[in-house]
């Protein structure tokens, strides 16, 4: 159905490893490095660091289209706010991991159920 989502047990194990890597690396890159660099360049402005790091995060996900870009920007703001509030990357890493795991395991099941129930024309329209 959705070619990138896990379907078998071995797919799931690889997907979990990938999601863990992505959550750690993207949080270090966007909420660690980019946030800190923008914060310093903007004379310690938390607002500019939040928006700037979230914009970079969204741009990196622009392959998801306009709606994905907007959703990723908003999610980036949430992750950056967690980082700013806690002064730690761990909460945003865990939140990022949770979001990606839900996307990989719950959303495809919901789409499959919708296709089978006739609520969506076909899986080809979604993929």
Residue 106 banded pLDDT, cuts 50, 70, 90? confident
Count of the separate structural domains present in the chain: 1
CA distance 105 to 89: 24
- Give the per-residue pLDDT at 103: 85
Residues 6+ apart with CB under 8 A from 105: 6, 12
In a domain, 1, yes or no: no
CA distance 77 to 53: 8
- Give the per-residue pLDDT at 71: 94
In a domain, 102, yes or no: yes
What distance lies between CA 115 and its chain's CA centroid?
A: 25
Domain around 108 = 9-126
**Whether pLDDT at 27 is above 90:** yes
Scored b (16 or more CB within 10 A) or e, 42-61 reads eeeeeeebbbbbbbbbbeeb
- Give the per-residue pLDDT at 6: 76
Q: What is the pLDDT of residues 62-91, one digit of tens each?
A: 998 999 999 999 999 999 999 999 999 999
């Amino acid at each position: 159905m959705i070619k990138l989502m896990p379907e078998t047990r071995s797919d799931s194990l690889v997907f979990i490893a990938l999601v863990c890597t992505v959550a750690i690396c993207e949080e270090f890159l966007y909420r660690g490095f980019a946030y800190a660099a923008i914060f310093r360049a903007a004379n310690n402005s938390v607002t500019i660091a939040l928006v700037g790091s979230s914009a970079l995060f969204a741009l990196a996900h622009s392959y998801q289209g306009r709606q994905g870009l907007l959703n990723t920007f908003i999610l980036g703001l949430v992750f950056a706010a967690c980082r700013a509030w806690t002064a730690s990357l761990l909460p945003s890493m865990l939140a990022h991991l949770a979001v990606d795991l839900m996307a990989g395991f719950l959303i495809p099941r919901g789409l499959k159920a919708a296709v089978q129930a006739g609520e969506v024309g076909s899986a080809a329209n979604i993929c």
